[in-house]
């Protein structure tokens, strides 16, 4: 079973998508110019992008998840008003978009997609992974979420319900993965190390203490 939640303002989303395409086009043009003039090394740019994609960006979200695991009051606030709870830690959206936290349980797994464009919570997850924008992910995550998860190496029990949440320009989702067992008494910093970017999109799970070592 997979529920699919649609609450789109379609025109706005496409406009939003074009906004990013325009920005990306300008970045690409600048990059090409600077590379041609020998001022920058494309490999250095790749390294910077990699840092934002996998290190800096998702660390913000990982701290949000870890705090929600360690602090029940914060978890309640996150469930009620994720935008405010996340902002309290100093992370706010680039365009003032609202955030919603969806909590995984042993019975329910949440998966995030943006079927119309690539709406993504940059402030907590950094840069979107390339596959997030790919038409194959965008369409198949809705039609066959279980199959998509298996391709990411996430095999869920048959009785686990998968809910697919569709991001929009106005509303972005953050998946709160299930806290791994064996982490009782861990500090928030140690817990945050168990949280990957993919776990916060729903295409992964939090690391077990063993896997983290």
15: pLDDT strictly greater than 90: no
Say what the pLDDT of residue 16 is: 45
Selection from 149, 151, 157, 150 nearest residue 175 by Cα: 149
Share of the chain above pLDDT 90, in %: 57
Helices first, then strands: H and E counts in the chain: 12, 5
Cα dihedral value 187, 123, 176, 110, nearest 10 = -160
**What are residue 172's DSSP bridge partners?**
99
What is the pTM (predicted TM-score) of this model? Answer: 0.76
More confident residue, 119 or 12: 119
Question: Which are the catalytic amino acids?
Answer: 114, 117-119
Mean pLDDT of 146-174: 95
Please determine, looking at this structure, whether the domain spanning 2-212 carries the CATH number 3.90.330.10.
yes
Order across the sheet with 161-166: list the strands.
2-5, 161-166, 108-113
């Amino acid at each position: 079973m997979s529920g699919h939640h649609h609450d789109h303002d379609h025109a706005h989303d496409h406009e939003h998508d074009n906004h990013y395409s325009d920005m990306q086009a300008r970045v690409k043009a600048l990059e090409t110019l600077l590379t041609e003039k020998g001022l920058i090394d494309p490999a250095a740019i790749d390294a910077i992008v990699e840092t934002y994609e996998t290190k800096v960006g998702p660390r913000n979200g990982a701290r949000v998840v870890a705090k929600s695991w360690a602090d029940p009051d914060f978890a309640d606030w996150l469930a009620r008003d994720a935008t405010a709870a996340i902002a309290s830690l100093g992370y706010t959206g680039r365009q003032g978009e609202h955030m919603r936290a969806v909590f995984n349980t042993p019975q329910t797994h949440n998966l995030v997609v943006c079927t119309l464009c690539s709406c993504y919570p940059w402030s907590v997850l950094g840069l979107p992974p390339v596959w997030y924008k790919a038409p194959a992910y965008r369409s198949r995550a809705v039609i066959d979420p279980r199959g998509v998860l298996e391709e990411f190496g996430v095999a869920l029990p048959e009785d686990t319900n998968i809910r697919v949440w569709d991001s929009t320009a106005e509303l972005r989702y953050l998946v709160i993965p299930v806290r791994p067992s064996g982490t009782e008494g861990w500090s928030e910093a140690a817990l945050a190390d168990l949280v990957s970017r993919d776990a916060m999109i729903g295409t992964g799970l939090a690391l077990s203490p063993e896997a983290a070592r």
